[in-house]
Chain A
């Protein structure tokens, strides 16, 4: 990362407007930290370092305060993730019904370790802790969609589906959602 030349802002005017629209909801600006991080993350699929001082300025905080909060939540990454982010639950109800095997097979299929992004930048595959879908164990959440009671046989199909969703998003056919 270069720090010399003045760089263009990371936050677009739309993001800034979206963040500012939240100001009246809370008695402090700091409370908008998580919402602001979500806004940036949903558009950029990560929170780049350059966004931090910009958010800090909007929220009248020190950049370190934003960074402190951001790093607590492993949810926000500094490296850009795939167009589709998938979580495979590994907690108890899912593990009892084969979640570990599903995760392993999806990793094999996509050639990634948990937490990794496919080489083509399309899909980020992560383990999740209880997704609140234990009645549909083993459960996978990806792109705001739920895959219920996933069996090993369905892994190929799901991976293909995720890829095509990622393609659609990459080509702008469908916008990433918050």
Chain B
């Protein structure tokens, strides 16, 4: 393969990369001009559909297809919600894009709104990104001043307003219908689907929710075409009619026990090992790797022996993980205790469950308590069965919960038990020599810091 030339991060190393003049000097805002001058909304939707662009927010849903679900003869208004709630542990690629190239994001939003006939776009930004907030707001202001936003954008009769809307430190606001509820001023309780947002979304109107990175890809598809976009990545599996393939560039994040943590752009489908060794500089301190989270903590674990797994949309699933998720790799070195890892994961989900569905609220909270008990040397082997039962019974997949947070909470438990069970057993026996075989109900230990976010 020829040396890969960065696409989404092509500008970020330039001085003042976040400003309009620098963006335009690099060819910025040509794609939206082309779209407004030469294309119809349907043509843009078809182009994005043909490019095979899939959502980068976690679910990997084909972007053009999602846009095409909007009702045709609806009087409007239509809304665009941009998901910048980025809170999946290990993930920070949206931050990089928003802080260092906000105009690229805005151009993507413009084209997305033109394609979906949205006249108002709400950019839902997690509260903890103050720099991204300022940079984006500054970029939006620059666009209004230039006539790129507002009424009659670029003098082409297209109107668009982009409003920043800040969250309040709740992971669940990243789930698209939780985001919509939060935007509407309510608790971020995800909705039962259908209806999907495309039919009834924000303010009961047809709405598209897209991730920052997904939208950042769109101007490049317009500028350079479908064939170029499809020249990157892993093609659809011809033997699997349901595989839409994994095309285009991707911002991979690497963090944890790695020499050079960071955000690295490459075509979809790099292997976990290549990412760690070639780009991340290897496991830190010359140590060996033990496992890696393939795409944010919700996706579960790849054992070191599985690191040749390709990080395209289909790869991690083949190794028993939930999916590619956000393509955020977190490396665990050989010294990490899986008990500690799983406690951290369970604590996160117990903290972030919105509490709406009983299996998720209770399941995540009890997993945390059980892991805490094990960690404190009071675990029983039976606890592992309990954890297995919980992880098998919470989530959209078993059909017990409204949103995917619960699947994400279950997956690290499932993978840890499947891939590292002997370690848990050994830990329990070693730390609780007199009680590990106990199967009577035991008192729960008090856990500090529990409760809703």
What chain A residues lie within 8 Å of B445 (beta carbons)?
none
B170 within 8 A of A: yes
Interface residues of B in 70-119 (CB under 8 A from A): 77, 86-92, 94-95
Least distance between B223 CB and chain A CB atoms (Å): 28
A153 within 8 A of B: no
What chain B residues lie within 8 Å of A96 (beta carbons)?
256-257, 330, 332, 336
Which of the 9-residue segments A6-14, A125-133, A154-162 touches chain B? A125-133
> Can you name the residue of chain B whose Cβ is closest to the Cβ of A76?
B168
Contact call B168/A91, Cβ cutoff below 8 A? no
Across the interface, A93 reaches (CB within 8 A) one of B89, B126, B129, namely B89
Contact call B128/A92, Cβ cutoff below 8 A? no
Contact call B171/A30, Cβ cutoff below 8 A? no
> Can you name the residue of chain A whose Cβ is closest to the Cβ of B161?
A25
B261 within 8 A of A: yes
> Can you name the residue of chain B whose Cβ is closest to the Cβ of A126?
B169
Least distance between B126 CB and chain A CB atoms (Å): 7
* Chain A 70-100 interface mask (CB, 8 Å, partner B; 1/0): 0011111000000000010011110111000
What chain A residues lie within 8 Å of B297 (beta carbons)?
91-92
What chain A residues lie within 8 Å of B94 (beta carbons)?
132
Contact call A73/B168, Cβ cutoff below 8 A? yes
Known interface pairs A37-B168, A92-B90, A129-B89; A28-B184 also in contact (CB < 8 Å): yes
Across the interface, A92 reaches (CB within 8 A) one of B169, B261, B345, namely B345
Measured CA separation A76–B354 after assembly (Å): 16
Least distance between B242 CB and chain A CB atoms (Å): 32
Interface size on A, residues (CB 8 A): 46
Across the interface, B90 reaches (CB within 8 A) one of A33, A93, A114, A146, namely A93
Least distance between A145 CB and chain B CB atoms (Å): 8
What chain B residues lie within 8 Å of A65 (beta carbons)?
185
Interface residues of B in 395-453 (CB under 8 A from A): 449, 451-453
Interface size on B, residues (CB 8 A): 62
What chain B residues lie within 8 Å of A127 (beta carbons)?
449
Contact call A133/B92, Cβ cutoff below 8 A? yes
Measured CA separation A34–B169 after assembly (Å): 12
A120 within 8 A of B: no
What chain B residues lie within 8 Å of A59 (beta carbons)?
185
Known interface pairs A75-B169, A93-B330; A141-B128 also in contact (CB < 8 Å): yes
Contact call B344/A91, Cβ cutoff below 8 A? yes
A164 within 8 A of B: no
Contact call A129/B453, Cβ cutoff below 8 A? yes
Least distance between A139 CB and chain B CB atoms (Å): 10
Least distance between A157 CB and chain B CB atoms (Å): 21
Across the interface, B253 reaches (CB within 8 A) one of A114, A134, A146, namely A134
Contact call B86/A30, Cβ cutoff below 8 A? no
Known interface pairs A38-B168, A73-B453; A134-B330 also in contact (CB < 8 Å): yes
Contact call A134/B92, Cβ cutoff below 8 A? yes
Of A91, A92, A177, most buried by chain B (CB within 10 Å of CB) is: A92
Contact call A130/B88, Cβ cutoff below 8 A? yes
Measured CA separation A96–B254 after assembly (Å): 13
What chain A residues lie within 8 Å of B184 (beta carbons)?
28, 30-31
B159 within 8 A of A: no
Contact call A69/B186, Cβ cutoff below 8 A? yes
What chain A residues lie within 8 Å of B451 (beta carbons)?
74
What chain B residues lie within 8 Å of A141 (beta carbons)?
128
What chain B residues lie within 8 Å of A32 (beta carbons)?
185
Contact call B166/A132, Cβ cutoff below 8 A? no
Across the interface, B89 reaches (CB within 8 A) one of A30, A74, A134, namely A134
B139 within 8 A of A: no
Contact call B453/A38, Cβ cutoff below 8 A? no
A27 within 8 A of B: yes
Measured CA separation A73–B205 after assembly (Å): 25
Please name 27 pairs of A and B residues whose Cβ atoms are closer than 8 Å in the assembled complex, sorted by A: A26-B163, A27-B203, A31-B183, A32-B185, A33-B185, A35-B166, A38-B166, A69-B185, A69-B187, A75-B127, A75-B170, A91-B90, A92-B256, A92-B344, A93-B89, A93-B90, A93-B330, A96-B332, A127-B449, A129-B453, A133-B92, A133-B95, A136-B261, A137-B255, A144-B131, A146-B131, A177-B130
Beyond A31-B185, A75-B169, list 12 extra A-B contacts (CB 8 Å): A31-B184, A74-B452, A91-B297, A91-B344, A92-B341, A132-B86, A132-B126, A134-B90, A134-B255, A135-B253, A135-B254, A135-B255
Q: Which 7 A-B pairs have the closest CB atoms?
A: A33-B185, A72-B187, A134-B255, A30-B185, A73-B168, A93-B255, A75-B168
